């Protein structure tokens, strides 16, 4: 085994309401893989995964930021906007913006307050 080789990095995402958060992530397109009591691995494609845990600490949730790099942030935003995430989950969805660092993105706060930045690169 090569100690310098890594296979995958996943963050543990806290959930204030585990069942609600699990449904939220499934509804926005992540595939759930239950791992046992209080832990679900959510995947999107073969390069994106995180672990939703049945644990909540407001200080952690409100300071955690995840970045999802996509092909078309505007298409993602339109799909999420149409899903009525605020009404169904209390999630907050920001408008897409071009950033000075060469990225177009928008923000999404999950039901427990975890911040996601979903974006794509701007062509130079």
CA distances from 57 to 2, 18, 116 (A): 36, 13, 17
What confidence score (pLDDT) does residue 46 get? 86
DSSP H stretches of helix in the chain: 18-27, 58-61, 73-82, 85-89
What confidence score (pLDDT) does residue 48 get? 92
Decide if 105 contacts 121 (C-beta within 8 A). no
**Please, what are the averages of pLDDT over each run of 10 residues along the chain (124 residues)?**
82 97 97 96 93 97 96 97 94 97 97 97 81
Does the pTM surpass 0.95? The reply is no
User: How far apart (Å, rounded) are the C-alpha atoms in residues 46 and 44?
Assistant: 6
Domains of the chain: 12-121 (3.10.180.10)
Token reading at 2: 């090569």
What confidence score (pLDDT) does residue 18 get? 98
What confidence score (pLDDT) does residue 4 get? 83
């Amino acid at each position: 085994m090569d100690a310098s080789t890594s296979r995958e990095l996943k963050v543990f995402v806290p959930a204030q309401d585990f069942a609600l958060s699990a449904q939220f992530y499934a509804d926005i397109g992540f595939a759930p893989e239950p791992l046992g009591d209080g832990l679900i691995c959510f995947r999107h494609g073969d390069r994106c995964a995180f672990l939703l845990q049945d644990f909540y600490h407001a200080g952690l949730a409100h300071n955690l930021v995840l970045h999802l790099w996509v092909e078309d942030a505007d298409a993602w935003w339109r799909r999420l906007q149409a899903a009525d995430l605020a009404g169904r989950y209390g999630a907050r969805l920001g408008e897409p913006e071009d950033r000075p660092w060469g990225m177009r993105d928008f923000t999404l706060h999950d039901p427990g307050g975890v911040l996601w930045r979903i974006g794509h690169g701007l062509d130079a």
